[in-house]
């Protein structure tokens, strides 16, 4: 029977040992730091597309932009931590922010699509990962 021995880098093992019981405190902080990066990218993209290339003057109230946010980190059924970037509901006029964002993203009859979510997702991937790594290193350094 073959035998394999894998040796982990000493600094990595030291970091893991320092984490111990603190992982449940650190993971939400790290995910929320990454979520904030994504929210800022979505917000800037959303502000860029609202009112652009319209036949009539924009009637934007700013409610959609102000409803954008990050949920706190929560554990799902499978035991994974998640944060969600999205819109708070409801609006003052009774319509759904999600519906308005969907119309902006994908368009409708007579209104062309103005994607802001998909470009934000692809454009914020690397900065989000970098922010989460930085927050992780910061939190491990405190231990």
- The CA distances from residue 138 to 7, 29, 106, 108, in Å, are 25, 10, 39, 45
Helix %, strand %, coil % of the chain (to 5): 55, 10, 35
Assess if residue 15 is contained within a domain: no
For residue range 41-76, list pLDDT tens digits in order: 999 999 888 877 666 676 677 788 899 999 999 988
Assess if residue 74 is contained within a domain: yes
Instruction: Quote the CA–CA distance of 96 and 78 in Å, as a whole number.
Output: 29
Six-digit token string for 110: 């007579």
What is the residue-averaged pLDDT of the chain?
A: 83
Phi and psi dihedrals of 62, rounded to 5? Answer: 90, 0
The answer, yes or no, to whether residue 39 has pLDDT greater than 90, is yes
More confident residue, 129 or 3: 129
Classified as helix, coil or strand, 8 is coil
Assess if residue 89 is contained within a domain: yes
82 close to 76: Cβ distance less than 8 angstroms: yes
Assess if residue 80 is contained within a domain: yes
- The CA distances from residue 59 to 44, 65, 87, 115, in Å, are 18, 13, 19, 19
Domain that holds residue 104: 26-49+61-142
Domain count, the chain: 1
């Amino acid at each position: 029977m073959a035998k394999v021995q894998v040796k982990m880098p000493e600094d990595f093992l030291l970091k893991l040992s320092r984490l111990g019981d603190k992982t449940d405190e650190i993971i939400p902080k790290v995910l929320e730091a990454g979520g904030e990066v994504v929210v800022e990218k979505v917000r800037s993209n959303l502000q860029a597309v609202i009112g652009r290339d319209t036949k009539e003057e924009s009637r934007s109230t700013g409610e959609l932009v102000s409803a954008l946010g990050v949920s706190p980190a929560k554990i799902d059924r499978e035991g994974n931590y998640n944060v969600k970037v999205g819109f708070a509901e409801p609006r003052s006029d009774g319509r759904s922010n999600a519906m308005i964002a969907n119309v902006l993203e994908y368009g409708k009859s007579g209104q062309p699509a103005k994607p802001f979510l998909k470009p934000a997702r692809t454009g914020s991937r690397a900065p989000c990962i970098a922010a989460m790594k930085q927050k992780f290193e910061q939190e491990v350094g405190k231990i």
